[in-house]
Amino acid sequence: MHRHYNGLKTAVLFGVIWAMLLGVGSLVGRGKFVWLFALVGVAMTAYGYWNSDKIAIRSMRAYPVTPEQQPAMYRIVSELSSRAGQPMPALYVSPTEAPNAFATGRNPSHAAVCCTEGILNLLDERELRGVLGHELMHVYNRDILTSSVAAALAGVITSVAQMLMFFGGGNDEDRPNPVAMMALALLAPLAASVIQMAISRTREYDADQGGAQLTGDPLALASALHKLQYGTARAPLPPQQDLVNASHMMIANPFRAQDVSKLFSTHPPMDQRIARLEAMAGRH
Partner residues linked to 103 by β-bridges: 113
Which residues in 63-77 are b (16+ Cβ under 10 Å) and which e? eebeeeebeebbebb
Q: Tell me the backbone φ, ψ of residue 105, rounded to 5 degrees.
A: 125, 150
8-state DSSP, 175: P
Report the first-to-last Cα separation within the chain, whole angstroms: 11
Residues in the chain, overall count = 284
- Distance (Å, rounded) from C-alpha 242 to C-alpha 154? 17
Report, as residue numbers or ranges, the catalytic residues: 135
User: Which residues, other chains included, contact 246 with Cβ-Cβ below 8 Å and sequence gap of 6+?
Assistant: 55, 56, 59, 60, 102
User: Which residues, other chains included, contact 230 with Cβ-Cβ below 8 Å and sequence gap of 6+?
Assistant: none
